[in-house]
Structure 1
Amino acid sequence: MATARLLLRSASLLPLRRSPLHSSRFQPRAAMASDAASQFQKIQIQREDTTFDAYVVGKENAPGVVVLQEWWGVDYEVKNHAIHISQIGDGYRALIPDLYRGKVALEVAEAQHLMEGLDWQGAIKDIQASVKWLKENGSPKVGVTGYCMGGALAIASGVLVPEVDAVVAFYGTPSSELADASKAQAPIQAHFGELDSFVGFADVTAAKSLEEKLKASGVAHEVHIYPGCSHAFMNASPEAVKRRKSMGLTDENQGAIDLAWSRFSTWMGRFLGSA
């Protein structure tokens, strides 16, 4: 998958300690922060002949948002984002599908390994099943959001999943072989850091290319680039800040985070409505 190759190529330039894969430190879900995990209802979703776990937070019958993980897996930070989303405005029902089937990476080499092994077409099917679950369980409209790898998948879902009502993507774009953004069906808002070094995937050139494709699609769209911000700038918990610094990403910009969340709120409120 070209999206994975772009991300892998960029990540290989990061000054990180790599652990050998034979001594894998993939962590089970139980390793996630218990305070965040306790707020979620764990469910199982069926699609075709496959069942996968998902995590739901927020009030029933509210508009739904499928929240897609970074390449790390369903870890503390994607759960932090989902909790935040569930509390925006009048509230949303946020659902995280477990695309890695329980595996969570702690180091870049492990995240690369997991993402490289992801069935991207299968992930799109997981997203579609998640959207349908929310709509069948009280959410009148459903959006999709995601971060890094999840951002690319969120945009792809706006092209490939007719049931998606709106998309907000953070620092990720799909490869042309996965989805052609010029054929988007859902309104798409996208956010990128000016200093993002993931070339062809989340850098300024990728952001501007996405914007041109969205213009061609004719759907409502916004592409925002945040000055002075690098990749994963939305990750602000102490654990996430430490991890970003270990990757050489030392910028911290609460103003940019607040602005991005404000734009998220406006976009999803516009297309999903209030609870």
Structure 2
Amino acid sequence: MAARATQLLLFRSLSPFSRRAVAASFLHTPTFSSLSAAGAMASTAEPFLKVQIQRDDTTFDAYVVGKENAPGIVVVQEWWGVDFEVKNHAQKIANLAPGYRALIPDLYRGKVGLDVAEAQHLLDSLNWPAAVEDIRASAKWLKENGSPKVILVGVTGFCMGGALSIASAVLVPEVDAVVGFYGAPPAELADASKAKAPVQAHFGELDTFVGFSDVTAAKQLEEKLQASGVPHEVHIYPGIGHAFLNDSPEGKQRRKDMGLNDDDPTAIQLAWSRFSSWMSKYLSS
């Protein structure tokens, strides 16, 4: 029964706009374990500057790390919220050559899912078009608050954030390059065949989130990007599943609780290398 409950939660999480089936293999996925508040907020050193960004009639927090005179990259969270893992990714991005200014918009307005039920509730409550507007406001903030010579901004994200990142290539004119990890936007949000910015996307061959980040979804995304005419790459990594970049101790444990025991340091290194090459190519001044 617990495994069935987990499957239903995953089913709901995949489609804010339309329900899609989850792969049958998730019928046997172990339940997620709850993380303590301390564990969920664990991170490396906290070099982040907290800023407030205004758009329309709302204000939201964002977390910035990296050099002020570097190209900007908006880093979009997974369904957990602004937790240790997205901060780890942002720090890594900031330190990649030639150096970037990474900004994490808080799409959940300060809330973080400490277990799957909380994360599910937060995801169900998310207004996805409004989240795209948060990304647009974040890209504008980076363009307006960096060096006058640095006007190029990329977007990247993971799972939910990966789908939103690719949606930004369609819907956010301020975006100059996108890299999305294991997530494709539903057509109701954004039609990738209308992408206007270069897109690189990464998926795991064993990902079982049908219609969202499995191999079929990856290939469908590639077809749409080909139709768009923008520069694009879609990479599928053999032998690994969802969220494979999450290699912190806490992230690895969370993946194991999902039944994902496929750590692959070589794939992680290759994905970051491809990310770095893509952003360096399209965000060079």
Query: Does the TM-score normalized on the shorter chain lie above 0.5?
Result: yes
- Residue 40 of structure 1 corresponds to 48
1:86 partner amino acid? A
Aligned to 1:22: none
Output the amino acid matched with 1:190.
A
Q: Identity of paired residues, percent?
A: 69
* Equivalence for 2:136: 128
Structure 1 residue 77 corresponds to structure 2 residue 89: no
**Match of residue 22 from structure 2:** 10
Equivalence for 1:98 = 106
Match of 1:149 among 150, 157, 160: 160
- Note the aligned Cα RMSD (angstroms): 2.2
Contact 1:41 1:55 in 2 (8 A): yes
Describe the superposition over 1:136-195 as per-residue Cα deviations: whole angstroms up to 9, x where unpaired.
011420000000000000000000000100000000000000000000000000000000
Q: What SS does the corresponding residue of 1:211 show, helix, strand or coil?
A: helix
* 1:107 to partner: Cα distance: 1.6
- Secondary structure of the equivalent of 1:4? coil
Shift in CA distance, 232/186, structure 1 to aligned 2, threshold 3 Å: same
Note the residue ranges of structure 2 that are not aligned, 5 or more in a row: 1-12
Q: How does 1:126-275 map to 2 (within 5 A)?
A: 126-138=134-146, 139-273=150-284
CA 26–137 in structure 1, closer or farther in 2 if over 3 Å, else same: farther
Q: 1:27 to 1:100 in 2, by over 3 A?
A: farther
Residue type of the partner of 1:134?
L
Counterpart-to-counterpart distance in 2, 1:183 and 1:234:
28
| Structure 1 position 3, deviation (Å) | 3.2
Question: Given that residues 74 and 156 in structure 2 are in contact (C-alpha distance below 8 angstroms), is that contact kept between their aligned partners in structure 1?
Answer: yes
Shift of 1:10: 3.3
Structure 1: runs of 5+ lacking an equivalent? 20-24
Q: Secondary structure at the match of 2:15?
A: helix
- Picking from 48, 65, 79, the partner of 1:57 is 65
Give the 3-state SS of the residue equivalent to 1:186 in structure 2: coil
Name the aligned partner's letter for residue 191 of structure 1.
H
- SS for the counterpart of 1:191 is strand
Judge conservation of contact 1:170–1:190 (CA < 8 Å) in 2: yes
Give the counterpart letter for 1:255 in structure 2: T
Partners of 2:43 and 2:88 within 8 A in 1: no
